[in-house]
Structure 1
Amino acid sequence: MRAALAVGTLLIAAVTAVVSTGAINTVVEEDRQNDIARAMSLTCNAALGPVTSGPVGSGALDAGKLTEEQRGNVALIISIGRQRELPPLAWQVAIQAGMTESGLRSLNYGDRDSLGIFQMRPSMGWGTPAQVTDPMYAINKFYDVLEAVPNWRDQRPGDSAQDVERSAFPDRYHRWEPMAAHLIGAIGAVADPTGCGEGVGNLLPAPTAQAGSAIQFALSQQGKPYQWGAAITHQNSFDCSSLMLQSYRAAGIMLPRTSREQWKAGAWLPVDQAQPGDLLFWAYDPSNPATIHHVAMYLGDGKIVEAQQTGVPVHIRPVRWTEAELMPQAVRPGV
């Protein structure tokens, strides 16, 4: 157990100043924020999705409904995260957990003896009632436990929130993902919280350097067996989406776990305009992304690398743009 960090007068002054204005715009001055963001060397996390300034899909509408108390706790989560030199992904995990558990309020009640922003239970060793209802203690304690979670940097923030909270309803933390990402930009003043750049829709950039690294990783796995639901913590075997996830993770871009989620983790382009590194998808109904069941990586020259099915190892094969069940769009991860 790590004691709560004494962030001192810097945090108190920052939070007091912004609350006195009636609205929180940033938690530290702009030049210092830019220096910190550069020092963090953010990598692209396509699982978070590119953040835009508009309300559609960005979480801005939900963020606009927060009270001054809620936004103050967000500012404290971000400030303490910075003091601990944790990346914006950690702040996002804490914001999503806090919003899910308490609505980002330091509650003096909860299920059984649960208390505070994160509904920590004194009877389970989280601290005394006075400690877990102290926002500074609770946030630091949350970060202590998060940092002990294996691979928390390599998964969606909602999954990491569940690893800390151990809820009976693990999927509920994902609901606040867009809002939390928006708040990192709006309150944390991180211009590009995901490291992916602003979403560009159908306006596609040239193939990225990361795509080359992803291809190299995927090709090096040829001959390894297919295993449905393969673990993403080893390279002994793969299913289709774990091969894509690990390939792009090796290139610094984090994809969601399943092929249907990966469909949303980048920019779309016509499949016959796919470039090396782009992802191709197959669906039982190609007009309905909800029926996607397979993903592969385009290599160029009419070829793909894939983990296809049980009994077939990772391999390269030709692809035809007219083949059955091929989705009409490809996806360029991280943009």
Structure 2
Amino acid sequence: LQAAEDLNYELRITQIDVADLAGVAKGTVSYALNGNELIKAETRQRVLAAADALGYRRNVMARNLRTNKAGIVGYSWHVADDPSRMNNLLDEFIYRVTASAETHGYHLLTFIQPKEDADKVYDELISTNRVDGFILSDVRYDDPRVARLFSLNAPFAAFGGMNVPGAAFAHVDVDGKKGIEIVIEHLLSQGHERIGFINWHPGLPVGDIRELGYRTAMKAAGIAIEPDWIGYTPNILHSAAQATQRVMSTKHRPTALVCTNDVMAFGAKSYLDEVGLRTGEDVALTGYDDDPTAQFLGITSVRQPIDAVAKTLFELLLCEIDHKPAPQRQVVFEPELVARQSTSRAGTT
């Protein structure tokens, strides 16, 4: 090998060469490089080390022809120019999904979903065999993407689905109802009873299930919710601030505010700061998603296990692509409350 390099020859390193150096069979090399779970971790690492030492590069096109797969999974950015559908959780989710895909020898193709005729982009990607399947998120009631992919018999798995009645597709979710219930329980333990709620407008599955958690927990505590305690808003800072103003202008002003995501909590905090109400002292405040900014500002939030979601979701998608039964096609994770300075005891000032 060194002599060839000295003469500027380009050697085509094969899996046989990798097998010889690693001391394994050629078939083992193929399985190891493709992430087959039957290969022991120690053996896989030995194969990867040998491949790296030899500078081995897989012939992806040949593999794709042999397996009749593109090695690519599609993910749409929804309606990209809608600011209410942007958040840091989505960024982390895409990063984690990409990492999971690459672990299994896949790449993620992101594309913009147009406002009109969204089906066309899915049709084109499927008809041209550019992707093996799709990852969906932000699944809505009667989501046209779900119906279209079913009609095309295209493999897909979704982040979100437990809130959609009759969801028969493979999906991974985090229990949003439970997430809000543990927030309410925390605030009740801090002595709060007048608890306001800032949420998306009704009709969005993720918001509806979280509002159900709010109503369920308040009812269980024997607290009647005043209609003015609930404010609806898009996922935009200034709109959330306006919703907070409406809620905090009521006769029996809440001593605590529960927001269904961190962006809304930031908007709520901006209003509270503007009128001189101290977060964590005059008014308790919570968010949802545990955004890095929430951590910096000391806002109590609900953390979702996005890494586990992404890994499980991609494994479900692989089962759909390979037409293999998954141990569980619909997986729900538990959220975690992260309490910080923004949720002090009621009446401490």
TM-score (norm 2): 0.27
Higher relative contact order (CA 8 A, sep 6+): 1
Q: Which protein is bigger by CA-based radius of gyration?
A: 2
TM-score (norm 1): 0.28
